[in-house]
Structure 1
Amino acid sequence: MIDPALPAEIEDWFAGRGWRARRHQLGMLAAARAGKHALLVADTGAGKTLAGFLPTLADFAPSLLHGAAAPEGLHTLYVSPLKALAHDVQRNLLTPIEDIGLPIRVETRSGDTPSDRKARQRARPPHVLLTTPESLSLLLSYPESTELFATLKRVVIDEVHAFATGKRGDLLALSLARLQALAPAMQRAALSATVADPEAFRGWLAPWGDVDSVALVEGEPGAPPEVELLLPQEERVPWGGHAAAWAVPQIYDLIRANRTTLVFTNTRFLAEYIFQLLWDVNDDKLPIGIHHGSLSKEARRKVEGAMARGELRALVCTASLDLGVDWGDIDLVVQMGAPKGSSRLLQRIGRANHRLDMPSRALLVPGNRFEFLEAMAAKDAVDEGRRDGEDFRPGALDVLAQHVMACACAGPFEEKALLAEVRSSLAYSWLDEAGWTRVLEFVATGGYSLRAYDRFRRIVRDKAGVWRLAHPEQAARHRLNAGIIVDAEMLEVRFRNGRSLGKVEENFGASLRPGDTFRFAGLDLEVEGVRDLELVVKAAKSAGQIPSYMGARMPLTTHLADRVQAMLADRAGWARFPDDVREWLEVQDWRSRLPQPGELLVESFPHREKHYSVLYTFEGWNANQSLGMLITRRMADAGLSPMGFVANDYSLGVWGLRRIEDPARLLSPEILTHEFVEWVQDSYLLRRAFREVAVIGGLVERQHPGKRKSGRQVTFSTDLIYDVLRKHEPDHLLIEAAWADARTRMTDLARLADVLERAQRRLVHVELDRVTPLAVPVMVMIGRETLPAGAADDELLAEAEGLAAAAMRPSDA
């Protein structure tokens, strides 16, 4: 048995604060002393970050050094998905270091870090460096990385669930493999409060998939959270809309009644929108802030500092703050709209109190009736301690290409040695020599169809079989363009004096003209002009539109979808629903039927001289949107004269001039073969996916020294290359990578296939004379789906009342 006892200095520090080291904190120390990697799964507020760093603090404790000098060089890397989390951890980690008097220097490194500090960190690194996956990959691209990481003892990966299953996780897995090669004794530690499948994460964390080398450390259970749903005080639960704007007066009263409230929204647009509504009712002039990823670094740091000092009564934010930020004085967390997953909700709830022995208080605010059911399902899952999450999938080829280029920038490499290193990560253990050769050839020449162009020649192989950069300038170009997150191109929003407020998407900025007004960062702004990639503004006296963003939608998880369907089938359970929600379901059951678990319900009815069909899939927006595209194509081929479709997470509505008599014919499985391929190839989806993988893979550069391309320039370049490759080299590495993205992330092909499987097994078609209650939430979206969520709430509600009246009134017969 490894002794997990704390060094005397650290033991005294705990005692001085009236604390005790918790079982899982000692477990992480014991795992490190046993030479094992470790995965810690513990509730929010359990001291996970301190547990991850305890072995590092112990290595610098004088009582264990016995008079020897403290370790030199970089000792520990801390990797987090968010810059804000790294800065928060730095503040909290410095407390024990300074209190105990440990000789440890701690610094952060991200895209916001000044270049002179980055250079100094490579030459004279701190003992502990807090960074992100992208910044770590860039650090590994420098020739001095071999010496820099030779002293590395430990890597701590925080909130591992947030990015391990995606492309950022692929990049980190490759970086971990490289670090392990540079420092073979390095230990890996991963931390999370919301891992649904610990065994899968142990496999991802382990070198060579050796799960036994990873200790699973489970935290002590904390106080169960207190989760409630907010309902309208006098009115009914809305039929449509997602902003939950109806609740703003009640939320403001809660802000007044609590010391600090954190208000989460699912998008940047909704953050700005809800922030504006709160200020409109803020008669007491309470200090309320806003935080999201498009605000400037200065604005974000200012708000984070104000929260840490307890100066704000409320903060409206997005996912930019839902991971691990430790603000212990938050009394209440409010989730605006549906949470989309129980793990995400648990993570956000944990921002309140952030202490293991005190319950976190959270309030869910549904935007409509389906969201009420989803919020109830999420609450039940949290009460039961059930988590959900995404599955692991094979590592992405475009990320691997970027990593190969980073390795070449660090120095020449031998391809077999690097292949062995890459395959030591579970994400790329599937890679064979033929696939590896394709990746190397792509990085070297751009592929068969592009090899004649010198600008795509990045690495070359010498006679000894060693690969190196084709030209030294390639290293600077790689570091300028590397990254995994490919957002829509942005315009910097600046006052004339140069002060930056943040960024809006280029498409939104291009729609503005001098004199137009918009609201951003909580300010009313008037456009003075656009220069280069900057939107120059001045203060305005009136409010205008709010910028919308094309960020990925958070899909409803399969776990919550299954729970919602089970609720619909459990009539006895309806007793806990509000009267209007219960009536909604009862009238639906009387007029038509309710979708049962394992079946696909399709309702067809006339409305305003058109024929409508609504499919209740419960498979999320991406799958429903894809199915809508495919069904309307089939409707056209069948002569049904389709006129459009609209989708939400729960259902798909299609309409046309002729009635759908046999929906099963439109949903046969072969739709996912030739028709799916033709649709994706002819749509914008594959081009958009290709643009992203081309940027990540390094084929197309967003920036040159001193100049950044506009989004239109990048899109033009990628479209030209895409057309060439699709015609002359359809099996190109990046076409394959784009298809992988289109199938998983953009169309959610697996969930789409589930819909078609149910359609063959248990499709129930109900033909009616009018719209049904369950169809109203999707029907009110018709004509509004191109508007940002929340922008048309008043119109939606008015439209909903008219539809609802038709759906809920007794039969005319």
Structure 2
Amino acid sequence: MKTQLVNQYFDSIGWKPFRFQRSAWRAYLDGCSGMVHSATGTGKTLAVWMGPILKWLKENPDRSRWNPKRPPPLRVLWITPLRALAGDTEKSLRMPIEGLQLPWRLESRTGDSKASLKAKQLKSLPTAMVTTPESLSLMLTHEKLLESLAGVEAVIIDEWHELLGTKRGIQTELVLARLRRLSPNLRTWGVSATLGNLSQACDSLTGIGGSDKVKVIEGVKKKRLKIGSLIPKRMDRFPWSGHIGTRMVPQVAELVEQVQSTLIFANTRSQTEIWYQHLLKERPDWAGKIAIHHGSLDTSVRSWVENGLRNGSLRAVVCTSSLDLGVDFTAVDLVIQIGSPKGAARLLQRAGRSGHQPGAVSRLDFVPTNAIELIELAAAQDSIKVGNLEARPLLTSPLDVLAQHVVTVAIGGGFRSDELLSEVRSAYAYQTLSDQEWQWVLDFVVRGGASLTAYPEFHRVEVDDGRYQVTQRRTITAHRMNIGTIVSDAAMKVKYQKGSTLGTAEESFLSKLKPSDKFLFAGKLVSLVRIQDNVAYVKRATGKPDTVPRWMGGRMPLSSELSAALRNKVGEAADKKFVGREMKSLEGLFDIQQRWSTVPRPDELLIEAIKTRDGHQLFFFPMDGRLVHEGLAALIAYRISQTKKTTFTMACNDHGFVLQSPHEVDISAAIASGVLSSTNLMKDILSSMNATEMAKRQFRQIARVAGLIQQGFPGMRNTASHIQASSNLFFDVFTQYDSENLLLTQARREVLDLQLEAGRMMAAMDRIAGSRIVIERPDKITPFAFPLLVDKLRERVSSESLADRIARMQAELEKAADAKQAV
């Protein structure tokens, strides 16, 4: 009966189950946990969702006993990485429930859910619940819910690759370990579309020492893709970042005109605001027909946009990764990517937002903001063809997340040390947690560690006859209000003087504005009226913006896989091999680069020494991504300054970095003395940067997650300056009186791993050590060097506008290039 019902349902929606979907259903019915890995828009949701439904149908074959007024208790938890996706996910999951007329109750529980619904759920949980890692962790603090959670049969994690390698992913692993303790036969399933380290991803999902019945089910690996690019009619031979982006607005508008619906992805929230305004300026008649969507907009604004996409009233949405995942917009015909996606997996993920259904073709058009980004697109396409997608590096034993989880469990009924330690070690991220680290965490939450014993507010967990628990109401309330691992700059509401909330912007941006300053937000031009009670009140404005908000986390580094592919594409150009429209369009650029300097091969490092009116410039082109280049620039500048007294200023992009000095540096002698050596690399990396200040900034995040500092309560949020001062005080106290504090150790490690990408830096230095160093001394700035020079100019205040000066420089270089070519 159960199979017949499911077949009838698929017939009713005009689909036929794929083989991989049936494989997933069988595996679920056999009691397995596992991963479903399949291209975006190929039916992954039904692959994991129908398993629990089929099992319930098998257990309840008599339809006459189904009673919608008495739905089954909680059976399935569906974890989504973004609360903005919960509504769409719920609608997708509800379709089979209604199609099969199941008596199930399906609800969401996220930070956006109404308080009345949450209160109702504390009394009775639904049969299936869509939630987030934070909300599920919060549920564990309610002891009365543990009995219901013990009946959970399955946890399904959507878009697992988005959580993998993050502290939210670690938080999810710990919650899963707790649920396995409550429900020993729990099935855990993950869904992912674009992942390089699939085996590791599955291990982190299913845990250590759990069920031996684990399946990795591969679905549709390669969906039909049509990737194009908008290439300017006249390609800049001396490109600079951001220049040709908005210049392409008319061509983008033409593409949007040709289809019914389009998603236009930008890499940063500020970029979405700029592009939305430019499109409206190009097509004023599109007012109300195009919209903007990013994570800082108010929930009501985002919901309006998403509904407009579904019902077809919006023809285009300019968005960030807020629409990267999960949302099933089958109506979207085209995806446009503004600027390099910085990774093949992200390009594939975004392409899959169009034609988001089995058998449909996914179409993406790429708009470069810099001519050199076309090389990145060509490299990404090569990576996709051979299936070389990015792996997500995993985190190991972050103690701030563990401390938060320990307090969570202590609130939700308490624990005994040995039992919880065994449970924690079953989480993949904590399998190597030492007894010493565990005892340190317990001491930290019980008495504040070695240096905070005298302060009762840090005695959060009490021990009574070997049982750890929390009884203080204030501690419980504060912990529940601050659960989570996402730490950003303090956010401030942006609200009309009289009217609705537009969203949030970071306090560090808004605090620098003066009343009447105009800025773009939520696709509107507004001016600041006043800041009061942590709310920025604004009114509509006319004219031109004075600024655009800059949100933290806007920089996406080039992936290591795409970096390698990029070097290969440049190497092909060195051999005069230009494959594809993108590379052929850059022949003029590569021709000048070769004539004035050289085009490096993958086993070469190009260094250009050029004198300009601003000083002596050293351009390095490792092509390892911005974050690696920032570290390498500081390292090499430090090493040179140890042998020659000089000062450096620097700029970096994904392709290289420049060191500017008032004095000429003999780079050949510097290399001979070991500036590119891997010897003492880690020591020199730390010496070359203000490692203490970087660790202090990183510690601020760790202190918040670990519960040392609080963001405050609704309506009483602590300011960024207050949080910073509190964090700095703890850092200084620990450094002076508790130097072995493991949170300090974690901060230093995260600086190396996350901020400096020390592992990639070391790999880059090892690769450079085995490369041939090519030093060129061109008379003029080359096409490769020009974008870096522009980035240097951005940092200086000039009496002439930046655009005017760049245009003049470009004209001079183009004239020189044409003159030399004629000769």
Scaled by the length of structure 2, the TM-score of the pair is 0.93
1:295 aligns with 2:283: no
1:610 is matched with which residue? 615
2:741 is matched with which residue? 732
How far, CA to CA, are the matches of 1:150 and 1:786 in structure 2? 61
- For the Cα contact (< 8 Å) 1:600–1:762, is it kept in 2? yes
Higher mean C-alpha displacement, 558-567 vs 756-765:
756-765
How far, CA to CA, are the matches of 1:748 and 1:479 in structure 2? 33
- Structure-to-structure mapping, 1:204-283, within 5 angstroms: 204-208=204-208, 212-221=212-221, 223-236=223-236, 239-242=239-242, 244-283=245-284
1:19 is matched with which residue? 15
How far, CA to CA, are the matches of 2:529 and 2:714 in structure 1? 28
1:553 is matched with which residue? 555
1:454 is matched with which residue? 456
SS in structure 2 at match of 1:774: coil
Report the alpha carbon displacement of residue 648 of structure 1 after superposing the two structures with TM: 0.7
1:103 is matched with which residue? 103
Report the alpha carbon displacement of residue 668 of structure 1 after superposing the two structures with TM: 2.9
How far, CA to CA, are the matches of 2:17 and 2:822 in structure 1? 70
Residue-by-residue CA offset, 1:281-300 (whole Å, 9 max, x unaligned): 01432600100000011101
Give the residue type in structure 2 aligned to 1:118. K
Report the alpha carbon displacement of residue 592 of structure 1 after superposing the two structures with TM: 2.4
Q: Percent identity?
A: 32
2:432 is matched with which residue? 430
2:643 is matched with which residue? 638
Structure 1 runs of 4+ off > 4 angstroms? 67-71, 209-212, 577-580, 679-683, 791-809
Higher mean C-alpha displacement, 604-613 vs 690-699:
604-613
Check 1:113–1:797 CA distance in 2 against 1; reply closer, same or farther (3 A cut): farther
1:542 is matched with which residue? 543
RMSD: 2.4
| Counterpart selection for 1:626 from 622, 631, 637 | 631
How far, CA to CA, are the matches of 2:806 and 2:130 in structure 1? 46
Report the alpha carbon displacement of residue 123 of structure 1 after superposing the two structures with TM: 1.4
Higher mean C-alpha displacement, 306-315 vs 141-150:
141-150
1:31 is matched with which residue? 27
SS in structure 2 at match of 1:764: strand
1:531 aligns with 2:545: no
Higher mean C-alpha displacement, 629-638 vs 469-478:
629-638
1:146 aligns with 2:146: yes
Check 1:673–1:351 CA distance in 2 against 1; reply closer, same or farther (3 A cut): closer
- For the Cα contact (< 8 Å) 1:519–1:543, is it kept in 2? no
- For the Cα contact (< 8 Å) 2:334–2:354, is it kept in 1? yes
Residue-by-residue CA offset, 1:738-762 (whole Å, 9 max, x unaligned): 1122111111111111232234332
How far, CA to CA, are the matches of 1:373 and 1:353 in structure 2? 26
Check 1:477–1:765 CA distance in 2 against 1; reply closer, same or farther (3 A cut): same
- For the Cα contact (< 8 Å) 1:167–1:395, is it kept in 2? no
Check 1:736–1:804 CA distance in 2 against 1; reply closer, same or farther (3 A cut): farther
Unaligned runs of 5+ in 1: none
- Structure-to-structure mapping, 1:497-516, within 5 angstroms: 497-516=498-517
Report the alpha carbon displacement of residue 551 of structure 1 after superposing the two structures with TM: 1.5
Residue-by-residue CA offset, 1:650-685 (whole Å, 9 max, x unaligned): 101111022222342323334533333345555532
- For the Cα contact (< 8 Å) 2:237–2:814, is it kept in 1? no
1:781 aligns with 2:791: yes
How far, CA to CA, are the matches of 1:293 and 1:430 in structure 2? 35
Instruction: Figure out how many residues of one structure are paired with residues of the other and give that number.
Output: 805
- For the Cα contact (< 8 Å) 2:309–2:331, is it kept in 1? no
| Counterpart selection for 1:375 from 377, 383, 391 | 377
2:750 is matched with which residue? 741
- For the Cα contact (< 8 Å) 1:625–1:652, is it kept in 2? yes
- Structure-to-structure mapping, 1:296-375, within 5 angstroms: 296-375=298-377
Residue-by-residue CA offset, 1:608-658 (whole Å, 9 max, x unaligned): 151111111222111111222233333333334223000011101111022
2:113 is matched with which residue? 113
Give the residue type in structure 2 aligned to 1:90. E
Check 1:210–1:316 CA distance in 2 against 1; reply closer, same or farther (3 A cut): same
Give the residue type in structure 1 aligned to 2:751. A
- For the Cα contact (< 8 Å) 2:150–2:182, is it kept in 1? yes
Give the residue type in structure 1 aligned to 2:773. V
- For the Cα contact (< 8 Å) 1:493–1:501, is it kept in 2? yes
Check 1:62–1:643 CA distance in 2 against 1; reply closer, same or farther (3 A cut): closer
1:573 aligns with 2:577: yes
Check 1:209–1:150 CA distance in 2 against 1; reply closer, same or farther (3 A cut): closer
Give the residue type in structure 2 aligned to 1:46. T
Report the alpha carbon displacement of residue 579 of structure 1 after superposing the two structures with TM: 5.6
SS in structure 1 at match of 2:664: coil
Give the residue type in structure 1 aligned to 2:789. M
Report the alpha carbon displacement of residue 201 of structure 1 after superposing the two structures with TM: 1.4
SS in structure 2 at match of 1:501: strand
| Counterpart selection for 1:660 from 649, 665, 677 | 665
Higher mean C-alpha displacement, 228-237 vs 101-110:
228-237
Higher mean C-alpha displacement, 626-635 vs 286-295:
626-635
Higher mean C-alpha displacement, 538-547 vs 32-41:
538-547
- For the Cα contact (< 8 Å) 1:238–1:367, is it kept in 2? no
Check 1:712–1:60 CA distance in 2 against 1; reply closer, same or farther (3 A cut): same
Unaligned runs of 5+ in 2: none
2:420 is matched with which residue? 418
Higher mean C-alpha displacement, 562-571 vs 175-184:
562-571
How far, CA to CA, are the matches of 1:546 and 1:31 in structure 2? 51
Check 1:113–1:409 CA distance in 2 against 1; reply closer, same or farther (3 A cut): same
Higher mean C-alpha displacement, 236-245 vs 623-632:
236-245
- Structure-to-structure mapping, 1:58-97, within 5 angstroms: 58-61=54-57, 64-66=60-62, 72-97=72-97
Report the alpha carbon displacement of residue 807 of structure 1 after superposing the two structures with TM: 7.0
Check 1:211–1:143 CA distance in 2 against 1; reply closer, same or farther (3 A cut): closer
Give the residue type in structure 1 aligned to 2:746. A
1:196 aligns with 2:206: no
How far, CA to CA, are the matches of 1:718 and 1:181 in structure 2? 35
Residue-by-residue CA offset, 1:406-454 (whole Å, 9 max, x unaligned): 1111022101100000000111101021111111112222321222222
- For the Cα contact (< 8 Å) 1:370–1:777, is it kept in 2? no
How far, CA to CA, are the matches of 2:180 and 2:354 in structure 1? 37
Residue-by-residue CA offset, 1:153-182 (whole Å, 9 max, x unaligned): 111111111111111110000000001111
How far, CA to CA, are the matches of 2:670 and 2:372 in structure 1? 24
1:492 is matched with which residue? 493
Give the residue type in structure 2 aligned to 1:25. Q
- For the Cα contact (< 8 Å) 2:72–2:104, is it kept in 1? no
Report the alpha carbon displacement of residue 329 of structure 1 after superposing the two structures with TM: 1.0
Report the alpha carbon displacement of residue 210 of structure 1 after superposing the two structures with TM: 5.7
Report the alpha carbon displacement of residue 273 of structure 1 after superposing the two structures with TM: 0.8
2:408 is matched with which residue? 406
Higher mean C-alpha displacement, 552-561 vs 756-765:
756-765
Check 1:625–1:805 CA distance in 2 against 1; reply closer, same or farther (3 A cut): farther
Residue-by-residue CA offset, 1:292-326 (whole Å, 9 max, x unaligned): 00001110111111111111110000001101211
- For the Cα contact (< 8 Å) 1:205–1:214, is it kept in 2? no
SS in structure 2 at match of 1:7: helix
Higher mean C-alpha displacement, 750-759 vs 796-805:
796-805
1:751 aligns with 2:760: yes
How far, CA to CA, are the matches of 1:671 and 1:26 in structure 2? 55
Check 1:69–1:795 CA distance in 2 against 1; reply closer, same or farther (3 A cut): farther
Give the residue type in structure 1 aligned to 2:444. F
Check 1:62–1:39 CA distance in 2 against 1; reply closer, same or farther (3 A cut): closer
- For the Cα contact (< 8 Å) 1:237–1:580, is it kept in 2? no
Report the alpha carbon displacement of residue 371 of structure 1 after superposing the two structures with TM: 0.8
Residue-by-residue CA offset, 1:20-51 (whole Å, 9 max, x unaligned): 11111111111111111021011112111111
Residue-by-residue CA offset, 1:223-248 (whole Å, 9 max, x unaligned): 42000111013454770123711211
Report the alpha carbon displacement of residue 369 of structure 1 after superposing the two structures with TM: 2.5
How far, CA to CA, are the matches of 1:125 and 1:17 in structure 2? 30
- For the Cα contact (< 8 Å) 1:366–1:372, is it kept in 2? yes
